[in-house]
Amino acid sequence: MTLMYLLWDTFYDALKLVTGLVALYQIVLSVYGIWHRRRPITHAPQKRFAIIIPAHNEECVIGPLLDSLKRQTYPAYLYDVHVIADNCTDGTAERARAHGAIVHVRENRAEQGKGYAIEWMLSRLKEMGARYDAIVMFDADNLVHPDFLAIMNDHLCSGDRVIQGYLDTKNPFDSWISVSLAISYWFDNRLWQYARARLHLPCTLGGTGLCIDYPLLQEMGWKATGLTEDLEFGIRCVRRGIIPVWAHDARVYDEKPTSFAASFRQRLRWQQGHFQCAREHLVPMFLEGLRERNLAKIDMAIYLFQPMRSMLLFAGAMIVLGLHYLSPDPTDAASNPAALMVTNLWVAVNVILFLEVPLALLLERVNWRAYFALPLLPFFLWTWGPVTLQAYFTRSNRTWYHTVHKRAIRLDELRER
């Protein structure tokens, strides 16, 4: 056994121990997501909403979204739909006007990205003297469940100030990429987000299907213009003592990428933004949580650690594997009981985590075709390793890459499927 191999193998065992404990923490929390009872709507419509839709060259998909918003069970006089035609070169503005939206044309090539567009729109609303109780944000490729605003009104009337809706998929079976992403979201929605909601822990904001109390937004300011503006704002809320809550029955359907290249670019942007937020907030938030005995802050810090966990495991596995082939280890693994125990723990918790995926599909009553995609899921999950590794080394990048949307599915078509 070479010294180099021994050192790296020991380091990798330490990584497995730490990441295994983080996975075990998630398994314990996920138990609280098993039982779900639909929350009844107990408050009559009273909150007035400004719906904000940032749109960059979304002519193909914005019509069905606006039509689904017209079909809300909530009174039409209590919400306005504002579309930001952000540096568009197509007919997005004309299409949005034709579907009854209030269109705001933004031309700013220097500050591109969803976060900048939202900040600009909020400034316009303030200048207009608009009176709203809450802001709701959607992406242009979304479809919205008819009860969405009614559920958000109920949460606001109950005292919640930041609410995240359920993030579903409108094109899960277009390709193995879209179905893998859909499965990941179904799992996260039920055994991550909903489980935490039951424990009064903060949910993670998804950037769409998001409702924010307008007075709170005016007080805090948006100030989230990075690659993951939703994560930035959510972190600021938690550090301020405001817990973003999860609305499991307020569904939003979005379009998932169908090609590996498009998915890679999208996930790369997510992970770059995640690393940027972690660099600024992970350690301070974790220390604040320990000092204040605040589990919400500790939980958010653990979430910020997730990409680092993925990257370290991937890089460590590649290094140990390479060293093994360059200088094979002649020692029987059973001769090191501590290392064997760590490996067994790591394998056990990851097997349990994977088995929770079909459980989540069963609990969410998803289409039976999703189960046939489970054999492909491990490979898709493995691809997060190189995505995260590249994101780490390019984490200073702040260039926004637009994900092209083209699946103009209508809400009634989605229900038929």
pLDDT tens figures, 125-179: 988 888 999 999 999 999 999 999 999 999 999 999 999 999 999 999 999 999 9
DSSP 75: -
Q: Is 9 exposed, middle or buried (0-12, 13-18, 19+ CB in 10 A)?
A: buried
Residue at token pair 């990428």:
257
Q: What is the largest CA-CA distance in the chain?
A: 75
| Dihedrals phi, psi of 413, to nearest 5 degrees | -65, -40
- CB contact at 8 A, 234 and 202: yes
Q: Which of 142, 150, 165 is nearest to 65 (CA)?
A: 142
How many of the other CB atoms lie within 10 Å of CB of 42? Answer: 8
CA dihedral (288, 294, 297, 302) positive or negative: positive
Confidence of residue 204 (pLDDT cuts 50, 70, 90): very high
For 215-256, the three-class secondary structure string (H helix, E strand, C coil) is: HHHHHHCCCCCCCCHHHHHHHHHHHCCCCCEEEEEEEEEECC
Is 10 or 396 the better-scoring residue by pLDDT? 396
Distance between CA 115 and CA 161 in Å, rounded? 20
pLDDT tens figures, 6-63: 776 777 777 778 888 888 899 999 999 999 989 999 999 999 999 999 999 999 999 9
Over 50: is that where the pLDDT of 81 sits? Answer: yes
Distance between CA 184 and CA 296 in Å, rounded? 23
Give buried/exposed letters for 140-179 (b at 16+ CB in 10 A, else e): bbbbbbebbbbbbbbbbbeebbbbbbbbbbbbbebbebbb
Q: How would you classify the pairing of strands 102-106 and 210-213? A: unpaired
Distance between CA 95 and CA 97 in Å, rounded? 6
Is 221 or 356 the better-scoring residue by pLDDT? 356
Q: How would you classify the pairing of strands 143-144 and 245-254? A: antiparallel
Contacts of residue 382, Cβ cutoff 8 Å, sequence gap at least 6? none
Range in 59-68, 170-179, 247-256, 405-414 with the lowest mean pLDDT: 405-414
Across the chain, mean pLDDT equals: 88
Does pTM top 0.85 for this prediction?
A: yes
How many of the other CB atoms lie within 10 Å of CB of 292? Answer: 12
- CB contact at 8 A, 89 and 57: yes
Element (H, E) at 49: strand 49-55
Distance between CA 339 and CA 352 in Å, rounded? 20
Helices and strands in the chain: count of H runs, count of E runs = 15, 8
Specify the pLDDT at position 307. 84
Q: Which of 165, 276, 146, 142 is nearest to 212 (CA)?
A: 165
